[in-house]
Amino acid sequence: MKLNIALLPGDGIGPEVTAQAVKVLNAIATEFDHIFNFKRGLVGGAAIKKTGSPLPDETIKIAKEADAILFGAIGERKYDLDPNAKIRPEQGLLGIRKLLDLYGNIRPIIAYDDLLNKSSLKKRQIKDTNFVIYRELTSGIYFGDKTLSEDGNTASDICKYSRFEIERVAHMAFKAAQSRKRKLTLVDKANVLESSRLWRRVVQELAPKYPNVKVEYLYIDNATMQLIINPRQFDVILTENMFGDILSEEASVIVGSIGLLASASIGDKHAMFEPIHGAYTKAINKGIANPIASILSAAMLLDHFGLDDEAALVRKGVDKSIKLQITTPDLNTKYDNISTSKVGDFIEDFINNPEETNLN
């Protein structure tokens, strides 16, 4: 298979971790006789620095023409601390999501047996946790009209949803539930928000089309508690944009490190693959950034094109790196100098020689 992949490393640790994902994808291409072409684009703070825009036209072109996009991370401390900045790195990421209509963001949360000790939660609390969050990604309060009054004294954001926007991601989530444990939990705040009531209504209307899927409803406040006290109750969580952002980052505590969580952002024409973690600017160029989230995002890219054996091999490499503690310091209690690229090298080697790779 020939794939043109847009590579948008972005800010912070983005370039370091995507470099490892590229390494791994190249190893897969060699092993399985595929051709993966990478084309690099600027986005976020890095793009502002060079072009003045967080999402240059050239990047949009690269992203639109590619078969898939591999995205790094976004954000810079400078902008975090400056609420007055009109041009912001995040506009690059949000712009791509919107322009490519990547409405379904899929975030799997799986507790690795070998990492149960790393979690802040008790082992028995999280063992066997395996669920997936379907987060609506192109609407809601992220994209509704924003206002700032002229005197700067009043600001607003609209959270707006249409039935169509809810239905398409809900269908995705219901289908996923059908091929999993057949349970879907809608998370909203329908006791307060009109938009949440629309979500609840639409999901109630779609539910009969998926009679073998059990549907439950949780308020977001309760959901953040349930996610910790009983994470095994979940199979597929469906939710709107902001609540999905919150729940998925919170869920990282189950897995033991935000550096493990991958995601796929899927539209009808385009698909992007990105870690859940942010730019983590404090870690830049220290070799401590965990590349696994980016590598697992690459595995989701392979899934997307039906390259099941390839994706499985990548995941096996990740499992092995975790088992042998060839991991960055966020996970490692055994070795203290395994760097970002060392983890990538190990998984690359594993793909080249699945039978032989061991501690090296």
Tell me which residues touch a second copy (CB under 8 A).
Answer: 75, 79-81, 83-84, 88-90, 94, 120-122, 125, 141-142, 144, 146-148, 152-164, 189-198, 200-201, 204, 217, 220-222, 224-225, 228-229, 242, 245-250, 252-253, 258, 278
**CA angle at 205 for the pair 200 and 211, rounded to the nearest 5°:** 110
Q: What x-and-dash track marks residues 182-201 binding ligand IPM by CB under 6 A? A: ---------xx---------
The C-alpha atoms of residue 300 and residue 309 are separated, in whole angstroms, by 12
Q: Which does residue 225 touch among ligand IPM, a second copy, none (CB within 5 to 8 A, set by kind)?
A: a second copy
The C-alpha atoms of residue 60 and residue 96 are separated, in whole angstroms, by 7
Q: Which does residue 228 touch among ligand IPM, a second copy, none (CB within 5 to 8 A, set by kind)?
A: a second copy
Tell me whether residue 87 or residue 192 sits nearer to ligand IPM (CB atom): 192
Task: Choose which of 11, 235, 245, 348 interacts with ligand IPM (CB under 6 A).
Answer: 245
Q: Which does residue 1 touch among ligand IPM, a second copy, none (CB within 5 to 8 A, set by kind)?
A: none
Reading the block at residue 353, the tokens are 């020689």
Q: How many residues bind ligand IPM (CB under 6 A)?
A: 10
Q: Which does residue 148 touch among ligand IPM, a second copy, none (CB within 5 to 8 A, set by kind)?
A: a second copy
Q: How far is CA 292 from CA 24, 203, 343, in A?
A: 11, 34, 8
Min separation Cβ 220 and ligand IPM, Å: 9
Backbone angles phi, psi at 6, to 5 degrees: -80, 130
Binding to ligand IPM by residue 90, rule CB under 6 A? yes
Tell me whether residue 25 or residue 215 sits nearer to a second copy (CB atom): 215
Q: What x-and-dash track marks residues 289-328 binding ligand IPM by CB under 6 A? A: ----------------------------------------
Q: Which residue has the tokens 């020939």?
A: 2
The C-alpha atoms of residue 308 and residue 93 are separated, in whole angstroms, by 28
DSSP summary character for residue 224: H
Binding to ligand IPM by residue 278, rule CB under 6 A? yes
**Spatial CA neighbour of 139 closest among 115, 104, 111:** 104
State the amino acid at position 247 in one-letter form: L
**Consecutive H or E run containing 327:** none
Min separation Cβ 333 and ligand IPM, Å: 28
Helix/strand/coil for 193: coil
Q: Which residues pair with 152 in a beta bridge?
A: none
Binding to ligand IPM by residue 109, rule CB under 6 A? no
Contact 333, 314 (CB under 8 A): no
Reading the block at residue 17, the tokens are 């971790």
**Binding stretches for ligand IPM (CB under 6 A):** 74-75, 90, 93, 191-192, 221, 245, 276, 278
